[in-house]
Amino acid sequence: MQLLYERLSGGEADQESLDMVYEQLSEEGEKPQRVNPTREDREYIDDVLQGVQDHQQELDDKIASHSTGEWTMGRVPHVDLSILRLAAYEMFHRSDVPDNVAISEAVELASRYSEPRSSRYINGVLGAMERDKQEG
């Protein structure tokens, strides 16, 4: 999510950025310890970064069609949009991530990194997307 946010905000989301994310993860918790990405972690990250970029219009269309009220695409904060794109990509393009896990993790990210009401909005949008996916 942090790398998607960086890219959305005009950054490159390159190897240096990935290293910074893992350094931040290493410093969290009561007993900081070095967190190193596994080969599988890097493959997942690379796939998500490329996949969100490749499918951005499709993902944004799905997000926009399930957003309501004041939450137009132009008004969605970049953090929330990054979270939504990540979860939507997992739901529609990663068969190894169950929809309920993608939604749950997105809500958790929103609770941690965004405004209090964002987690409800993200849960609502992704829940509606999941229902449409099941019906379609």
Nearest Cα neighbor of 80 from 19, 124, 131, 26 is 124
Furthest C-alpha separation in the chain: 46
What pLDDT does 14 receive?
65
The string of DSSP codes covering 34-61 is -----HHHHHHHHHHHHHHHHTHHHHHH
Nearest Cα neighbor of 103 from 80, 124, 117 is 124
What pLDDT does 73 receive?
80
What pLDDT does 27 receive?
62
Task: Point out the residues of the chain with pLDDT beneath 50.
Answer: none
Amino acid sitting at position 117? R
Q: Hey, how many other C-beta atoms are within 10 angstroms of the C-beta on 62?
A: 22
What pLDDT does 45 receive?
85
What pLDDT does 111 receive?
95
